[in-house]
Amino acid sequence: MILQSLYSFAFIIYLFYAQKIQTLQMLRQIEITLRKVKTLKEEARNQTIKTIVEIGKPTGDIAPHVDRFMDFFSIGLESMDPAGIVDKMDHFLKTNKHIYEAEVKSLAPNATPTERNNLENLIEVSQALNIYYKVIRHYYLLGKKTMNIYVIMQVHMILPMLLQMVEAYSSGIQAFQEGMPIGDSVGAIVTAKLMHGYPQTDIAEEIVAAEVPYEGRTLVVFKAKGPGGSVGNPDEGLINILKERKGKVKIIITVDAAGKLEGEPVGQVSEGIGAAIGGSGKEKYKMEEITNKYKIPMHAIAIKQGMEHVVAPLVEPLFDATDKAVESVKRIIMDYTEPGDVVVVAGIGNTIGVGQ
């Protein structure tokens, strides 16, 4: 009888306080994740400062300068009237890049251009981790302050994905410190293998190209200029090539990393059509505009990888996949062109650790 009364009493208490108990449990789990994100954020900050000091040999304490730049932000463009937004985006991105270059040069005056590119990437990773931490903290404190279960649930439900993204960024610290190729470098590696040993010229800002003979065809292969961490301006590179050749190009092949679906193997190579390029959309738009003007087909090769591989040091399955991608490029050339044709091959992605 006493045991039954205790069960009934516990059930009544649960009915009244179940939601509060659930809210406290979710808050506790968010707090644990927040502490982990804070640790990763602080580690990234410390490693960034350490690397800048070792490479750039600055005078004085750079920690306040780095902390100030950690809170640097970019205000998105107004798209209410979309006319001309691509040119505005182009100007916006160049302004952003100029500021990063100036800040890194100020922080690391003795660094080489390649090292400065890598430091820019390192700072961007630290900034991303800082933003994730501040956003998660905001919703945690807001939920704790209001005890609104719906606010708390929104964060709690996406915690695994948030943590996955944070850990993905954190894994990139080593790569940008040491100048190692990353998952996003696979497109650049493919074109580096094709152009290796041939004379190269600068065709656009931080973009190099080489003419490569292959089975009676002329391949114009280009990528971002390495081995510093840069993606260059592939849209400007393609535009300059097509204008120089007056549009007399048979096909264009773009090679880039692509996100894989769960169940797909890391390093799967897939073929398709279109411009294989991510980013803001500005580059993709301009590449589509110029190819449409000259009516040149665009082929795409995607090397599949998970979110955790994109900025992390390159893993063996992805490196092996670049050989398969090279074979795919050659097969597309043989299937869709004739001797005497000109083919453009664009390696898209961050070229850190990848020379020419």
> What does DSSP say about strands 342-347 and 269-273: parallel, antiparallel, or unpaired?
unpaired
**Which tops the pLDDT comparison, 36 or 1?**
36
- At 122 the pLDDT is 94
- At 83 the pLDDT is 83
Are 208 and 170 found together in one domain? no
Does 39 map to a domain?
Answer: yes
State the pLDDT confidence band at 1, using cuts at 50, 70 and 90.
Answer: low
Q: How many domains does the chain have?
A: 2
> Would you say residue 8 has pLDDT above 80?
no
Contact 281, 332 (CB under 8 A): no
| 3-state DSSP assignment of residue 112 | coil
Give the C-alpha separation, 325 to 11, whole Å: 62
Give the C-alpha separation, 239 to 224, whole Å: 15
Q: 178, 193, 219: which is the final residue of a domain?
A: 178
State the pLDDT confidence band at 14, using cuts at 50, 70 and 90.
Answer: low
Q: What is the pLDDT of residues 172-192, one digit of tens each?
A: 999 999 999 999 999 999 999
Are 335 and 243 found together in one domain? yes
254 beta partners: 300, 346
Are 111 and 198 found together in one domain? no
Are 250 and 337 found together in one domain? yes
**Which tops the pLDDT comparison, 81 or 105?**
105
Burial of 283 (C-beta count, 10 Å sphere; 0-12/13-18/19+): buried
- At 9 the pLDDT is 67
Q: Which of 327, 356, 92, 47 has its CA nearest to residue 224?
A: 356
Are 119 and 249 found together in one domain? no
Q: What is the pLDDT of residues 213-271, one digit of tens each?
A: 999 999 999 999 989 999 999 999 999 999 999 999 999 999 999 999 999 999 999 99
Structure tokens at 248: 């007399």
Is the model's pTM score more than 0.85?
yes
Q: 158, 178, 198: which is the final residue of a domain?
A: 178
**Domain harbouring 306, CATH code:** 3.40.50.1470
Half-sphere exposure of 230 (CA within 13 A, CB side): 23
Distance of CA 224 to the CA centre of its chain: 14
Are 168 and 53 found together in one domain? yes
Are 201 and 161 found together in one domain? no
State the pLDDT confidence band at 20, using cuts at 50, 70 and 90.
Answer: confident
Q: What is the pLDDT of residues 283-297, one digit of tens each?
A: 999 999 999 999 999
> Would you say residue 15 has pLDDT above 90?
no
State the pLDDT confidence band at 280, using cuts at 50, 70 and 90.
Answer: confident
> Would you say residue 339 has pLDDT above 90?
yes
Q: What is the pLDDT of residues 307-319, one digit of tens each?
A: 899 999 999 999 9
Are 165 and 139 found together in one domain? yes
Are 190 and 327 found together in one domain? yes
- In this prediction, residues 78-102 reach a mean pLDDT of 89
- At 96 the pLDDT is 92
- At 152 the pLDDT is 92
Are 215 and 166 found together in one domain? no
**82-91, 192-201, 223-232: the lowest-pLDDT one:** 82-91
Cα angle 29, 43, 45; round to 5? 120
- At 129 the pLDDT is 95
Residue percentage of the chain with pLDDT more than 90: 81
- At 16 the pLDDT is 66
> Would you say residue 4 has pLDDT above 90?
no
What does the radius of gyration of the chain's CA atoms come to, in whole angstroms?
25
The parent domain of residue 38 ranges over 2-178
- At 7 the pLDDT is 67
Does 352 map to a domain?
Answer: no
Are 139 and 39 found together in one domain? yes
Does 356 map to a domain?
Answer: no
- Amino acid of residue 215: E
> Would you say residue 28 has pLDDT above 70?
yes
